[in-house]
């Protein structure tokens, strides 16, 4: 009985943590950009409708989690892999529509820069699927175009299976493209995912 209570408490804590890390983004936000600061603050702005009020959240436990599970905790094997799969089946329409939306948003090229204490994520959520482009290291720059977005999508399909969660990154780059369930912890400092 004690083990059952412990497992329920752990599950509740995990669910709460994931929900706080990536807040719900309303459908009308469309394509958005999220500036994720090391102090746990997120500023999320709609790129589809710049007139919308940005969403600002703060999670003071982010710094503690990053220190515990950040760059030093990653294995050398994980550093070398550039496609990884999480094994979650995603809504097929959500995957199809979100990759199309991201590819259209970046068009012939979208440059993203991070500051000294930020990571940046550009994404779109459709039917509880987030497809995103992430720069997971501070003081970095990346440029994604529609061909890159589709290439990453096809690599995830080849390695993870169609409509499965995962991410793809280019060797030696701080840039990744991924897809996951809405609410999943993604684009952390030190990354890669």
> Measured between alpha carbons, how far is 169 from 192 in angstroms, rounded to an integer?
8
pLDDT tens column, 51-108: 999 999 988 776 544 444 343 334 333 444 478 898 899 999 999 999 999 999 999 9
Task: Kindly report each contact of residues 12-21 with a partner whose C-beta sits within 8 Å and lies 24 or more positions away, as own/partner.
Answer: 17/61, 17/185, 18/183, 18/184, 18/185, 19/183, 20/57, 20/59, 21/59, 21/62, 21/183, 21/185
Whole-number mean pLDDT of the chain? 80
- Residue of 189, 192, 170, 190 lying closest to 37 (CA atoms): 189
Domain ranges of the chain: 2-181
Specify which residues 69 forms β-bridges with. Answer: none
């Amino acid at each position: 009985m004690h083990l059952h209570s412990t497992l329920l408490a752990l599950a509740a804590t995990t669910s709460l943590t994931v929900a706080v890390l990536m807040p719900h983004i309303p459908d009308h936000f469309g394509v958005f950009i999220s500036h994720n600061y090391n102090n746990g603050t997120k500023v999320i702005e709609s790129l589809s409708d710049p007139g919308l009020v940005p969403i600002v959240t703060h999670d003071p436990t982010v710094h503690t989690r990053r220190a515990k599970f950040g760059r030093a905790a990653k294995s050398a094997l994980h550093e070398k892999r550039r496609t990884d799969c999480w094994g979650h089946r995603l809504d097929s329409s959500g995957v199809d529509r979100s990759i199309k939306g991201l590819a259209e948003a970046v068009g012939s090229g979208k440059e993203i820069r991070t500051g000294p204490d930020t990571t940046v994520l550009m994404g779109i959520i459709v039917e509880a699927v987030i497809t995103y482009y992430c720069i997971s290291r501070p003081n970095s720059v990346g440029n994604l175009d529609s061909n890159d977005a589709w290439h990453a999508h096809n690599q995830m399909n080849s390695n993870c299976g169609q409509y499965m969660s995962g991410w793809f990154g280019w060797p030696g780059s701080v840039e990744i493209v991924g897809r996951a369930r809405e609410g999943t912890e993604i684009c952390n400092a030190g990354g890669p995912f």
